[in-house]
A = this chain, B = another copy of it.
Amino acid sequence: MDIATLLGLVVGLSLVIGAIILGGAVDVFINVPGMMIVIGGTLAAIMVAFPFEEVIQAFVAAFKMFQQRKTKARDVVNIMVKVAEISRREGLLALENVQTENMVLKKSCQLIADNADSQLIHATLAIEINGLRRRHQVAQDVFKRLAALAPSFGMMGTLIGLVQMLTRLDDPKAIGPAMAVALLTTFYGSAMATLIFIPIAAKLKARTLQEQLNLEIIFEGAKSILENNNPRLVYEKLSSFLSPSERGE
């Protein structure tokens, strides 16, 4: 469980809701037609903007983000060094038995064990890494687009409310509340974007960069193993991927 992410979401929402409660009259901030325009409109537009499967994938990716712990670069380096040791000791064929959840690492080991052409291995891993990057990119794009659409629908709702208010200015007392209602959709759109969509898009990006780094470590490690570098040299090279504090001794 990624607690920092969840905590951030909860604290952010609490602060905003707290400010509303402090000001009294919470019910003023609830306007069902306004919510329908902003939430419904944003979801409808995202369905037009992306293929249906990609929208689903993006939400699944965001949901998984809260569940999964991310793999640290340091652990990936250690695994690759271990793989190098196995291949040294027991030969390349032994790599077929390496157990791992990481698809790219698995494919690497399998291709090395199959004694595949080194160029084919490189090409295959490059395609694999690009594919992962492309799929992650789509999830980010969906949330970035949501973050841009929500305030637009909010502004549209406010424009509708203002036009309606301005056409019946008979009762001066009604102007204030009507304007308050008109502003609500802008608030909804802004809150959805700032509190939810923008941070999730950013976190998905951060995760992608981390994943990509891990794949690059696997890629460079597999190259080194193929060239039959000894495990110490593999470590020496891969540790360059880590920050000084991660290298330990």
- Listed in ascending order, the chain A residues whose CB lies under 8 Å from chain B are 4-5, 7-9, 11-12, 15-16, 18-20, 22-25, 28-29, 33-34, 36-37, 40-41, 44-52, 54, 70, 103, 107, 111, 116, 120, 123-125, 127-128, 131, 134-135, 138, 145, 148-149, 152-153, 155-157, 159-164, 166-169, 173, 175-177, 179-180, 183-184, 186-187, 190-191, 193-195, 198-200, 202-203, 206-207, 209-210, 213, 220, 229, 233, 236-237, 240-244
Contacts and interface: CB of A to CB of B under 8 A. Distances in A.
Of residues A4, A187, A202, which shows the largest number of chain B Cβ atoms within 10 Å of its Cβ? A202
Contacts of A209: 134, 138
A128 B202 CA distance: 25
Contacts of A191: 156
Secondary structure call for the A interface = helix
Contacts of A237: 120, 123-124, 127
Given A16-B156, A46-B199, 18 more contacts: A8-B44, A11-B40, A11-B47, A18-B33, A25-B164, A25-B168, A28-B163, A45-B195, A49-B198, A50-B206, A128-B240, A131-B240, A131-B243, A134-B209, A138-B206, A152-B193, A156-B191, A163-B180
Nearest to A38: B15
B166 A180 contact: yes
B149 A198 contact: yes
Nearest to A180: B166
A192 B19 CA distance: 20
A134 B213 contact: yes
B163 A8 contact: no
Given A15-B36, A163-B29, A190-B156, A51 B4 contact: yes
Contacts of A190: 152, 155-156, 159
A44 B191 CA distance: 13
Contact of A44 (B15, B123, B155, B177): B15
Contacts of A184: 163
B33 A22 contact: yes
B44 A70 contact: no
